[in-house]
Amino acid sequence: MTDARTHPANRNLAERVAALRKQRKMTLEQLAVASGVSRSMLSQIERGSANPTLAVSFKIAEGFGTSIGELLGSSWNAASVDVVRANDPKTLFPAQQGCRIRTLSPLRMEKDIEFYELILEPGARLDSEAHHRGTRELLTVASGSVTVQSDSQLAELSEGDSAHYQADCTHSIINGADVAASCYLVVTYSG
């Protein structure tokens, strides 16, 4: 298993958070207030010693007023074809135990929509805090089965099923089955 300090996604996040914070002349305390992430956690992330969840990464992006893709990317590349390679370690996000999240969206792109591949091991779950107001998610199950919870509503999904739900409230994707579930997740942010 990769150490948090050596994981390429953590190194990239550490560099980007520090650079954006300095570029915007924000203190750790100001970013903590803007993002809702503790000052000590932000300090650990900048040092590369923390393994933040996807929810924490989203909060930091929101604190900067940007998307998670922009937080992890670099300046816009004007190429007419932007490829996301399956073996690029920067596309993998630190996630909760038993979850693997890989972005399928170009990281350098400013966008209102993000596309992810999500693998949940048996018994695993992905719990997320509320995103910006108006944010919605569309989850499609490629294999296995999951339960989606948005606020207090539940939906059971099997292979080939999709659910579109509010993500501006607490929400979870839960694999209660005995086999891994493979899903595709689209996150849309309202203007």
103 with 159, same domain: the answer is yes
- Please tell me the predicted confidence (pLDDT) of residue 128: 92
CA separation for the pair 109, 67 (Å, rounded): 9
The CATH number of the domain where 57 resides is what?
1.10.260.40
Tell me, yes or no, whether 143 lies in a domain.
yes
Do 179 and 114 share a domain, yes or no? yes
- The answer to whether residue 31 sits within a structural domain is yes
Mean pLDDT of the chain: 85
The reply to whether 132 and 49 lie within a common domain is no
Residues 100 and 68 occupy one common structural domain: no
Do 116 and 181 lie in one domain? The reply is yes
Task: Collapse the DSSP code of 94 into the 3-class scheme (helix H, G, I; strand E, B; otherwise coil) and give the result.
Answer: coil
Question: Are 31 and 106 within one domain?
Answer: no
| Same-domain status, 103 and 163 | yes
| 80 within domain boundaries | no
Residues 183 and 140 in one domain: yes
Inside any domain, residue 111: yes
Q: Are residues 57 and 102 in the same domain?
A: no
Report the CATH number that the domain containing residue 114 is assigned in CATH: 2.60.120.10
Listed in sequence order, the residues at least 6 apart from 169 whose beta carbon sits closer than 8 Å to its beta carbon are 130, 150, 151
Convert the pLDDT of each residue in 12-43 to its tens digit. 888 889 888 888 888 999 999 989 999 999 99
Domain ranges, residue 21 = 8-72
Burial class (CB in 10 A: 0-12, 13-18, 19+), 50: buried
Domain-embedded: residue 169: yes
Q: pLDDT digit string (tens) for 40-67?
A: 999 999 988 888 888 888 889 888 888 7
Confidence of residue 122 (pLDDT cuts 50, 70, 90): very high
Question: How many structural domains comprise the chain?
Answer: 2
**pLDDT at residue 155 tops 70:** yes
Contact criterion met (CB below 8 Å) for 86 and 70: no
- Per-residue tokens: 11: 């190194």
* Sequential DSSP letters for 71-93: HHS-S----S-----TT-GGGEE
Span 71-110, pLDDT tens digits: 876 444 445 677 788 888 877 877 788 999 998 887 655 5
Confidence (pLDDT) at 78:
44
